Amino acid sequence: MANYRLQSANALGASTACSTCYSTLSLKYATSEVGLCCATVAAATYYVAQGETFANATAFYSNAALTTRAANGYYGV
């Protein structure tokens, strides 16, 4: 996580931590619905845009930078 300082009106503000730009989800993944629902599948960490949840996410990502979409398939909690 990065920090920033705002310079305004010839004054330099305090160092402030950037807010996180993503949320993490612990999800199970399978290539089929049956595989997800009927098999023992280990959970892994996936990422969504800040403020999104499993229920309202527009996409799941495999990296915190949100640049690599997770594989096509079934995801569950």
- Percent of the chain past pLDDT 70, that is, above it, reads 97
State residue 17's pLDDT score: 75
Is residue 33 predicted with pLDDT exceeding 70? yes
Is residue 74 predicted with pLDDT exceeding 60? yes
State residue 44's pLDDT score: 96
Q: How far apart, in whole angstroms, are the C-alpha atoms of residue 46 and residue 67?
A: 12
More confident residue, 31 or 2: 31
Is residue 68 predicted with pLDDT exceeding 90? yes
Residue listed under structure tokens 């799941």: 60
